[in-house]
Structure formats: structure tokens, C-alpha cells
Amino acid sequence: MKFFLDSANINEIEEIASLGLLDGVTTNPSLVAKENGQKDFNKIIKKICKIVKGPVSAEVISTKYENMIKEAEILSKIDKNVVIKLPMTKDGIKATSYLSKKKIPVNVTLIFSASQALLAAKAGAAYVSPFVGRLDDISSNGINLISDLSEIFLNYGFHTEILVASIRNPIHIIESAKLGADVATLPYSVLIQLFNHPLTDIGIEKFLKDWSNK
């Protein structure tokens, strides 16, 4: 499973990259705006691409097809690793079809059903982003969607990668990995949780105590 960081925080991205764990980044204008009031989206994307030698999803703001294409063409010129992030709408799917034919990779976001993911895959999306946490929030099982997508994509040999988004806890990651999801995009806080286990802490404490008593 590939790990992407869902962030526009340069310090977070640099830290995780330094650990050798970072395969890519997903971000959007909202995340960029939250970082020190920074509104220069393209500038931040360029900085991220210098740190990460993998896919960097940059989301368009427009909701209409023609404007999506214009934004996508500008964003795709920032760096060869930029992936255009588009919403799961009719205009988004139309833009996905157009851009994929131009060899510009697309990440279709806001996926909440297998039917939506199927449409995105047929349109040529490089990634689909099912939002497991938001499904859990409305008393639906987000991990069940990952299971459905793994089965459907395998049935038809789609090259589209399943990028699990809206991850709220380590369980989401492990369950998605067991189902064969290609990518997990994690908030910094959740990725850090993967390191932690109380028995590890106890073991280190005991080791250090034994050594000090030597």
C-alpha cells in the first residue's frame, strides 16, 4: 500500500518524507488556505512537488467543465507529478475523460458509492478517492465500499487505483490494506498514530531501565 499525506503543511510533508514513508500527497485549496493564510495555491503545489517525488493531487476550484479544463491545464504544467483532482459530477467525469485522453492523470474525489467509482474508472481516472470516514459518519460502513471497489476493479481489469480518503483512524488503514486498496491518503495525525503501541513504549522503558541498572 502506498502512503500519501493529506496535507498542505510543508513541515509535515518534509518530516514524513524524511522517514522514507511518503509516496505522494493529496491537497486542495481549503488545506492550502488553512496553512498560515496562504492562498497562493500554485506556489504551494510547486513547493510540495520539490519535496515529494511522487503524485501530488491538486484540486480544481471550478465546477463547470470548460473552467475545469483551463485550471487543469495550468496545474499540470507546474510539475510532471501533478495529478488533477476533480469532483464526482457530470462535468467532473467529462473533464476526466478529456484529460485522461491527453495523458493528464486525474484523481476523482468525493466518491461515496461503487457506481460513482465505476463511472470514474470508465472515464479513465488514474485514481478514485472513496471517503470512508464520511460514510461512517452517516452510519454507513465505509470499508464495505473499499471491498466492493476491489472486487469490481479486479473483475474488469481497471488500471484505476483505489485511493482511500477521509481516513479517521489506523483501523481504516489496516482494513483497507487487507482488502487490497492501492493507496491510503492520511492526515498527519493518523499517520503518526501508526507508530504507537503501549507495549512498544513499555518495552523501550524496560530496556532503558535494565541498561541503566547494569
Amino acid in position 190:
V
Q: Give kind and range of the element (H or E) at residue 25.
A: strand 24-26
DSSP designation for 129: E
DSSP state of 108: E
Is residue 70 among the annotated active site residues?
Answer: no
Phi, psi of 190 (to 5 degrees): -75, -40
**How far is residue 94's CA from residue 66's CA, in Å, rounded to a whole number?**
10
**Given the residues 46, 85, 122, 206, the one annotated as active site:** 85
CA-derived radius of gyration, the chain: 19
Q: CA 134 to CA 120: how far, in whole Å? A: 19
DSSP 28: -
Catalytic machinery residues: 85
